[in-house]
Amino acid sequence: MIKQKKGKSKKNDQRGFSLIEILIVTVITTGVFTVIYSFYSSTIKQEVESRYEMIASNLAQEGVEIVRNIRDENIMEGESDMSTGISSPCYPYFNVTTGVTSCVSTPEISIVGGRYVNSSSGEDTPFTRTCNTSYDPTLETLEVECVVEWKSFINSSLSRESSAKAFLTDWQ
């Protein structure tokens, strides 16, 4: 018969993680998540900035088209000066209620119900649109340049702009 020694128990070979091992894994995991988050954050900012650029480009082109519409109305009404009602600077505005296009005296653009309208009737956006025009009566040419400005979404101290330019003539 084999006798067991008194006071001695079986040796437990199972070991847990030490505090240092847990800290190392935590630091590595935190670092990886920080890098992933910074890439994700910068991607989102770039996407918003690209969207702002596209909106501004469309707003600049819309400004030229509104001035073109005013020119067309002048020609169709038999005005001797196709630039009647087009000031410089011009803040092109399309009234969605009446369907009338005009140059207004308020430079801000606002959005109401998904449409960009005069700021007196809606919520402010980061965009301002100004169209400068010059009329040459000898050539009967109206030069229009619309510039849309906004503060950068990525760096608010930077001012961004997009422009559209057109030379309009008497098409009769």
Question: Does residue 51 fall inside a structural domain?
Answer: yes
Q: Which domain holds residue 148?
A: 20-169
Tens digit of pLDDT for each residue in 53-66?
A: 999 999 899 889 98
The tokens for 81 are 């000066």
In a domain, 125, yes or no: yes
Residue 135 falls within a domain, yes or no? yes
In a domain, 6, yes or no: no
Q: Mean pLDDT throughout 12-21?
A: 75
Q: Count up the domains in the chain and report the number.
A: 1
The answer as to whether 11 is a domain residue is: no
Q: Phi and psi of 140, rounded to 5°? A: 50, 55
Q: Is the pLDDT of residue 95 over 80?
A: no
> For 77, phi and psi rounded to 5 degrees?
-85, 0
Residues 147 and 129: beta-carbon distance below 8 Å: yes
Examine the pLDDT at 171 and tell me if it is beyond 60.
yes
- 96 in any annotated domain: yes
Residue 16: band (very low, low, confident or very high) from pLDDT cuts 50, 70, 90:
confident
> DSSP alpha helices (H): ranges in 118-157?
none
The answer to whether residue 3 is domain-embedded is no
Phi-psi map region of 4: left, alpha, beta (phi>0 left; psi -120 to 50 alpha): beta
**C-alpha closest to that of 112 among 97, 100, 128, 123:** 123
Give phi and psi for 154, each to the nearest 5: -75, -45
Q: How far apart are CA 116 and CA 126, in angstroms?
A: 12
Residues 6+ apart with CB under 8 A from 110: 116, 117, 118, 119, 121, 122, 123, 124, 125
Residue 7 within a domain: no
pTM of the model: 0.70
